[in-house]
Structure 1
Amino acid sequence: MSELKVYYGWARIGNVRKKRAISVMFENEWHGCRSERGQRILRAAQETVIERYQDAEEEKAAKDCSRIFTEYSLFLDEKPINGSLNKILQMNSDADKKHVSKEMRDKIAEALRRAFMQTNRKYREPGWQQLELKFE
């Protein structure tokens, strides 16, 4: 099992970040990330909801990085998501399809949904739905 973790959460909004987004932070080296400084950086970047360990393929990609964290974001209010919580959670789940089991992806989506709904109690899914084709 890998020693490196992946942290899922919602990006903190402030002077630097202006848009709501799912933030996925990958550790690139465990001793730097889990130090007090590394955890302070993580708390400043996102409100962590859930974490998991990286698989072997993800860990290989981390070895070539010079930073202690690599971040990926999905922005809630931009195209093609257009403010849809269900759509952003589905896109995040699809991105993890090759590395994470279905059970863990469902657990991550539920944790992200719960955290979002706690801070956005008046949220409603956008009323209009565009037709979409799913090819499987």
Structure 2
Amino acid sequence: MKMGKLKVYYGWSRIGNVRKKRALSVMFENDAQGCRSDRGQRCLRTIQDTVIERYQTDEEMADGKRQNRIFTEYSLFIDEKPINGSLERCLLVNSDADKNNISKAIRDKISDALREAFMLANPGYKEPGSQLELKFE
């Protein structure tokens, strides 16, 4: 019998007492029992606002089996180097990280969903460098 596939959850980190910085949060399940339990899902909700999810590839699942925790998180901090406040750069770095595992179409779908959620949560957001520049001579 084939075992259940593990998921990857993409979302934005939830800012609060523990987290102070805006970040793209990617959570990999390492154990479906623990992650899909009420406790596991509660834990996930305190860490991030999940936007989109997908199933892991066999290679990603093999990595998860070696972990001793139920989730592994990767964060891309928006306001730090190399992203420097750029949503588009953040999405590009994330897409590049997935390029060996999933198709361009799925990566684009993930980026679009993350962009839409970010813009809803940050209505005044402008890409850095797109602000009006004043030049004094």
List structure 1 runs of 4+ shifted beyond 3 angstroms. none
The AA in structure 1 aligned to 2:123 is: R
Question: Which residue in the other structure is 2:122 paired with?
Answer: 120
Provide the residue aligned with 1:4 in structure 2. 6
**Number of equivalenced pairs:** 128
Unaligned runs of 5+ in 2: 131-137
**Counterpart residue number, 2:52:** 50
Aligned residue number for residue 134 of structure 1: none
Can you give the 5+ residue segments of structure 1 that lack an aligned partner in the other structure?
Answer: 129-136
Would you say 1:97 and 2:63 are equivalent positions?
A: no
Q: Distance in 2 between matches of 1:87 and 1:63?
A: 31
Per-residue CA deviation, residues 98-131 of structure 1 (Å, 9 max, x unaligned), is 0011000000000000000001000001126xxx
Structure 1 residue aligned with 2:43: 41
Which structure: larger Rg?
2
In structure 1, C-alpha distance between the alignment counterparts of 2:48 and 2:55, rounded to whole Å = 18
TM-score normalised according to structure 2 size: 0.91
Deviations 1:70-102 (A, max 9, x none): 000000000111100110000000000000110
- Residue identity matched to 2:32: W
Secondary structure of the residue that 1:71 maps to in structure 2?
Answer: strand
Q: Deviations over 1:45-79 (max 9, x none)?
A: 00000000000100000111110000000000001
